[in-house]
Amino acid sequence: MIKRYITVGMALALFATSLISCNKFTDLAPISEATNENAYTTAKEAEAALTGAYDALQQEYYVWDNVIFSDVISDNYYAGGDNPEIFAVDKLEIVPTNSRLFTNWGQIYGGIARANTVLEKVPGIEDPQLDAGDRRNQILGEAYFLRAFHYFNLVKLFGGVPLILVPVEASKTEEYIIPQSTEVQVYDQIIADLEQAAAMLPDTFSDEGSINKARATKGAANALLAKVHAQRPDRDYNRVLTYCDEVINSAANYRLLDDFSALFDGAHYNNAESILEVQYVGAPEGNFGPQMLLPPSLSGDTWRKFVTPSHDLVNAFDSESDVVRKNSSILFEQVDWLDEFWGNQAGSEVPFAYKWKNASGWASSNRQYLLRLADIILLKAEALNELGRTVEAREALNQIRQRAQITPSQAVSQTDLRVAILKERRLELCQEAQRWDDLKRAGLAVEVMNGLNEIDLRTNQPVNYNMTAEKLVLPIPQQEIDRNTELTQNTGY
């Protein structure tokens, strides 16, 4: 089913993720042919296979398509740019032949294939180095986490998907022509993998943030377990609360930064608030995403940029007098192009997504946090509120508001606090690929999207998003439907 993605040679790893001693990485090229039975005989080759598994986090989905399918698809951002397929995401007019679906499906399954290879091959490698300092279990724990992370993104995007838990061999792809597992079955597998990961992983690998934030740790596994238990359809907020507290009380000593802007100024990555982040270092291992989003004054080019903040998002910041986070997240600049929402004439002032600050000619060192503590604190507030512990929930919420230098919430009722927490997550986590999940979890995606008052300035007519319950999941890519006759298209497509 995914043979396109298992025979491609893997590039040098994003993080240099092999660990020969407890305190230092070594640069290893990941093994490029996962089906070679003779490729996995030493600790060095095990580390190289793990490096290849982490390398999947450099793929386009994790660079910026996750933002498109969470922030642009929602009320946070317009498409911007000039790509018809991204306009379709913005307008909720996604069809099975949209090529971004097939690209994302393949890239995420490619990451799963790499993690599966590690999980199958590493237990059989006879090398004393793997058993020094429990390194074998750490490698396996990291691979379990990565597989769970990829499946979590797949199930949120597409609902039930095929569960592939062994390496895919190019010569035997017919064995992987299988139907979707149910959404709950996929979540069950994610949780099983994360529980394994949490049992195998350390709180920290060393004293170096560049290592601890680059790799899956016990804190990362517990943070993802909290998010998974909150997002699954049969959610359990007691479990959400348990795993949030595991992160907050972790021996890794995660803590909120005092200054929100330091999270995104490009000078404070691998900080105490970060739980997991992609380690872009610039050329030759740079992030191309900032070049796609930042304005001409910062990008050095003049074409129309993508992921334009919406009126509704800007208004949400202004309604809370949230200057600190707004200034760190959005930058206004006059442009020469026409923008159908902000100014249908040259010279209009247009907002730009600004959590990345440096384009660096397609090779930026700016990063996207995959997991950070503020997300978990707000998730704890949500869990406490849903469990009827509103006073404690408000205290957790106000930790985040205090850092943002805005008035503490006075919400008393569970209903009012639910609204306040959802809005706080929007302001705290915009451009971090969280909004669509939050709206779906709250059961508000249809109501919010159909209630927007967005005017297309080219016609002076309101935009009708025609949101329906069927659009809560994306269509299965048509290429996969054609390839795998066991797949069933999602309802409504």
Tell me the pLDDT tens digit for each residue of 344-363.
999 999 999 999 999 999 99
Residues 168, 116: contact at Cβ < 8 Å? yes
CA atoms of 338 and 457, how far apart (whole Å):
10
Is residue 300 pLDDT above 80, yes or no? Answer: yes
CA atoms of 273 and 378, how far apart (whole Å):
13
pLDDT band at 284 (very low <50, low <70, confident <90, very high): confident
Is residue 1 pLDDT above 80, yes or no? Answer: no
**Taking the C-alpha atoms of 267, 270, 276 and 277 in order, what is their torsion angle to the nearest 10 degrees?**
30
CA atoms of 351 and 329, how far apart (whole Å):
10
Comparing 12-16, 27-31, 464-468, the range with the smallest average pLDDT is 12-16
pLDDT value, residue 39: 76
pLDDT band at 15 (very low <50, low <70, confident <90, very high): very low
Is residue 22 pLDDT above 70, yes or no? Answer: no
Is residue 5 pLDDT above 80, yes or no? Answer: no
pLDDT value, residue 296: 96
Residue type at 106 in one-letter notation? G
CB atoms within 10 A of CB 446: 17
| Token duo for residue 44 | 């060095």
Is residue 17 pLDDT above 60, yes or no? Answer: no
Q: Between residues 34 and 144, which one has the greater pLDDT?
A: 144
Q: Averaged over 401-430, what is the pLDDT?
A: 98
Tell me the pLDDT tens digit for each residue of 131-176.
988 999 999 999 999 999 999 999 999 999 999 999 877 656 676 7
pLDDT band at 476 (very low <50, low <70, confident <90, very high): very high
Q: Averaged over 82-96, what is the pLDDT?
A: 98
**Cβ neighbourhood burial of 364 (10 Å; 0-12, 13-18, 19+):** buried
Is residue 23 pLDDT above 50, yes or no? Answer: no
pLDDT band at 228 (very low <50, low <70, confident <90, very high): very high
Of all residues in the chain, the percent with pLDDT exceeding 70 is 91
Of all residues in the chain, the percent with pLDDT exceeding 90 is 87
Domains of the chain: which residue ranges?
Answer: 3-201+472-483
Residue type at 255 in one-letter notation? R
**Across all residues in the chain, what is the average pLDDT?**
91
**Taking the C-alpha atoms of 154, 158, 161 and 165 in order, what is their torsion angle to the nearest 10 degrees?**
0
Is residue 289 pLDDT above 60, yes or no? Answer: yes
pLDDT band at 78 (very low <50, low <70, confident <90, very high): very high
pLDDT value, residue 37: 55
Is residue 259 pLDDT above 90, yes or no? Answer: yes
CA atoms of 122 and 117, how far apart (whole Å):
8
Alpha-carbon 215 to chain mean position? 15
Is residue 180 pLDDT above 90, yes or no? Answer: yes
Return phi, psi of residue 384, to 5°: -60, -45
| Token duo for residue 293 | 């989003």
Three-state SS letters, the chain: CCHHHCCCCCCCCCCCCEECCCCCEECCCCCCCCCCHHHCCCHHHHHHHHHHHHHHHHCHHHHHHHHHHHHHCCCCEEEECCCHHHHHHHCCCCCCCCHHHHHHHHHHHHHHHHHHHHHHHHHHCCCHHHHHHHHHHHHHHHHHHHHHHHHHHHHHHHCCCCCCCCCCCHHHHHHHCCCCCCHHHHHHHHHHHHHHHHHHCCCCCCCCHHHHCCCCCHHHHHHHHHHHHHHCCCCCHHHHHHHHHHHHCCCCCCCCCCCHHHHHCCCCCCCCCEEEECCCCECCECECHHHHHCCHHHHCCCCCCEEEECHHHHHHHHHCCCHHHHHHHEEEEECCCCECCCECCCCCEEEEECCCCCCCCCCECCCCEEEEHHHHHHHHHHHHHHCCCHHHHHHHHHHHHHHCCCCCCCCCCHHHHHHHHHHHHHHHHCCCCCHHHHHHHHCCHHHHHHCCCCEECCCCEECCCCCCHHHHCCCCCHHHHHHCCCCCCCCCC
Q: Averaged over 423-452, what is the pLDDT?
A: 98
pLDDT value, residue 28: 45
pLDDT value, residue 38: 59
pLDDT value, residue 10: 27
pLDDT band at 283 (very low <50, low <70, confident <90, very high): confident
pLDDT band at 459 (very low <50, low <70, confident <90, very high): very high
Is residue 333 pLDDT above 80, yes or no? Answer: yes
Is residue 9 pLDDT above 60, yes or no? Answer: no
Residue 159 zone, left/alpha/beta (φ > 0; ψ -120 to 50; rest): left
Q: What is the CATH number of domain 3-201+472-483?
A: 1.25.40.390
What are the distances in angstroms from CA 219 to CA 140, 255, 371? Answer: 16, 12, 10
List residues bridging with 331 in a β-sheet.
352
Is residue 460 pLDDT above 50, yes or no? Answer: yes
